[in-house]
Amino acid sequence: MKLSDLSHRLAQWLAGTGPLAEIVISSRIRLARNVAGFPFLSRCSEDQRRQIADTLQGAITAAGVLDDPLTVDVEQAVELDRQFLVERQLISRQHAAGSGARRMLANGAETVALMVNEEDHLRMQVLATGLQLESAYETIDRIDDAVEKRVAYAYSGRYGYLTACPTNVGTGIRVSVMLHLPALKMTGEIEKVFQAARDMRLAIRGLFGEGTEAGGDFFQVSNQTTLGRTEKQIIQDFREQIIPDIIQYEKVAREALVDRKTDVIDDKVFRSLGLLRCARLLSTSETLFHLSLIRLGVHLGRIRDLSLQTVNELFLFSQPGHLQKAAGREMTPDERAKARAEMIRAKLN
Amino acid sequence: MNGHKRKCDKCDRPATVHLTEIIDGQKLEKHLCEVCATQEGLTLQPTMGINQMLEEFISHTQQAKQLGELVCDHCGMSFLEFRQGGLLGCPHDYEAFATALVPLLQRAHEGAGEHVGKVPTHAGGDEQRQTQLLRLRTALKDAVVNELYEQAARLRDEIHKLETS
């Protein structure tokens, strides 16, 4: 698998086919691990970083856990490629912006991605479409076992898996779901969700952009506690205590919008569709705003000639790195606005 | 205060409580002795004398200073450096900073201080071996930086021996 093979392809986790995909865009589970006998990265020499990277890459390859593998030397990759990987959620912004020897290994389906030398020596993630936390954990657990047969992890009986930041220590697990909550945002009830999430010690942040409000209707909810609970308990708490409530609130809010404000919601949804079908220049944030409403319209059955998958595709392909990869060159923001509008018109008309 | 002590606004005792209030844009200053301030409900902790407060403050700062002086003998990181950067230097820091770190862990993890999750079944190294490797690798890094090549070669051999044992 090569990086260029991905530029016109939808990542599997964005297929829009998983359970509750109309609200839960994707589920993600990440494990943080470090190689025993080495300092954490802040205290590693460049030589040690490279040794760790080689050790882990060797172990992952030998474990044979990645089908049709894609390996990227992030240190050597050009900025555009790193941005492209961030947009596909194969690496974090931090990994893209880091320095020194660091790598990324993924499977061809892009459901598994392993970052080597990010904040910890190894960060493994599984991404799935819709709400699929248990199966995502099974996959990552199996990969973890296979890698661990070949590399000794830094581990203590008392503190569990030892991580560079004490907020990850213990299980090293981070469970997240990416949610699309346009109706709660529209009815102003989103604050209640934030409050409930905070009460449950979950972190919630805006997605597709910087800051909590960026991108408007997309939110990522993740656990913060990693110590003192088992992986299964953490996932179970997450899946049973808060996420079903948020999903239920959003469903009720969506139904209420259709029942009581049909004309208003139709007006919003079809204005957005009309605008994206005709616009000649589109910024990322404007695109995101309208795609969110279109996505809502598709789920509510107001827009019948588009699928969730097509809308998800547009989310991905309209991002700066993807537009430039598709064009095969770097572009200015003005050029991208034009290319973005062209690509969207072609898909929607 | 210009070298002389201000008297309480209400009596002749020296003023020890100084308050500036802004009401409707008007600045209002009050200077009161401890007794009058208490009567006005202004002192925060009338039960705690100044000596007691100072004592607490000193023991807190001493404790903070002691914690700040904790240094890991494996990676050389101090607890103060960790507090500034937010990231630990090596796995051994969890032991080296335990006194300071445990309360932090409990705060971050809903009161929990111990791992109950997955245990690696195939981990090649016990904790002692991990610690020894870490120490040797740090020594090797220092030896290379200081251009002590003979020492570095010896350390490399030791690491290799331990890795393959």
The residue of chain B nearest to residue A34, with distances taken between CA atoms, is: B91
Between chains, do B118 and A36 touch, taking CB under 8 Å as contact? no
Say if strands A103-106 and A112-116 run parallel, antiparallel, or are unpaired.
Answer: antiparallel
What value does the mean pLDDT take over residues A140-160?
A: 93
Q: Give the dihedral sign, CA B93/B99/B100/B101.
A: positive
DSSP secondary structure letter of residue A178 = E
* Tokens, residue A294: 């279109």
Residues B23 and B8 sit within 8 Å (Cβ to Cβ)? no
N-to-C CA span, chain B? 73
- Is the pLDDT confidence value at A200 over 90? no
What's the length of chain B?
Answer: 165
Taking the C-alpha atoms of residue A282 and residue B18, their distance in angstroms, rounded to an integer, is 59
pLDDT, position B103? 87
pLDDT value for A332: 96
Tell me what pLDDT residue A166 has: 94
d(C-alpha A254, C-alpha A250), whole Å:
6
What tokens does A184 get?
Answer: 């709660």
Using CA atoms, how far apart are residues A336 and A260, in angstroms rounded to an integer? 39
Q: How many residue pairs bridge chain A and chain B with CB atoms within 8 Å of each other?
A: 152
Instruction: Give all strands of the β-sheet with A103-106 in edge-to-edge order.
Output: A70-73, A103-106, A112-116, A122-129, A24-33, A173-180, A218-223, A202-206
β-pairing verdict for A160-161 and A218-223: unpaired
Asked if A193 and A184 touch (Cβ cutoff 8 Å), the reply is: yes
Q: Exposure pattern of A200-214 as b/e (b: 16+ CB <10 Å)?
A: bebebbbbbeeeeee
| Distance between CA atoms of residues B86 and A40, nearest Å | 12
* pLDDT above 60: residue A133: yes
Q: Going by C-beta distance under 8 Å and a sequence separation of 6 or more, which residues neighbour residue A62?
A: A150
Q: Measure Cα distances from A203 to A35, A90, A279, B120 in Å.
A: 28, 21, 36, 28
Tokens in use for A299?
A: 């789920």
**Confidence check: pLDDT of A328 > 80:** yes
Q: How confident is the model over A170-193, as a mean pLDDT?
A: 92
- Strand, helix or coil for residue A54: helix
B151 SS3 class: helix
Q: Which of A54, A140, A158, A227 should one mutate to test binding to chain B, selecting the residue with the greatest count of B CBs within 10 A?
A: A227
Of B119, B74, B101, which is closest to residue A166 (Cα–Cα)?
A: B101
Distance from CA of B60 to the nearest CA of A (A): 23
Residue A59 pLDDT greater than 90, yes or no: yes
Residues of B in Cβ contact (< 8 Å) with A227: 105, 108-109, 112-115
- The residue whose two tokens read 């072609």 is A346
Sign of CA dihedral A131, A236, A228, A136: negative
CATH class name, domain A3-254? alpha beta
Q: Which of A31, A34, A42 is the best residue to mutate to test the B interface, defined by the most B CB atoms within 10 Å of its own CB?
A: A42
pLDDT over 80 (residue A111):
yes
Q: Is the pLDDT of residue A203 over 90?
A: no
Query: Could you tell me what percent of chain A has a pLDDT over 70?
Result: 97
Instruction: Supply the ipTM of this predicted assembly.
Output: 0.89
Name the residue ranges covered by the structural domains of chain A. Answer: 3-254, 261-348
CA dihedral B53, B55, B61, B66 (to 10 degrees): -150
Among A4-18, A79-93, B36-50, B130-144, which range has the highest average pLDDT? A79-93
> Å from A68 to nearest chain B CA?
26
pLDDT of residue A90: 96
Contact: B113, A47; criterion CB under 8 Å: no
On chain A, the residues whose CB falls within 8 A of the CB of B118 are 141, 144, 160-161, 171, 230-231
Q: Which residue has the higher pLDDT, B28 or A215?
A: B28
Question: pLDDT confidence of A211, banded at 50, 70, 90?
Answer: very low
Which amino acid is it at A181? L
Flag if A154 and B91 touch (Cβ within 8 Å).
yes
Q: What is the DSSP pairing of strand B26-32 with strand A155-156? A: unpaired
Positions of chain B with pLDDT under 70: 1-5, 21-25, 40-65, 122-125
Mean pLDDT of A326-335: 95
Chain A residue nearest residue B106, CA to CA:
A227
All residues of chain B having their beta carbon less than 8 Å from the beta carbon of residue A159 are 94, 105, 114-115
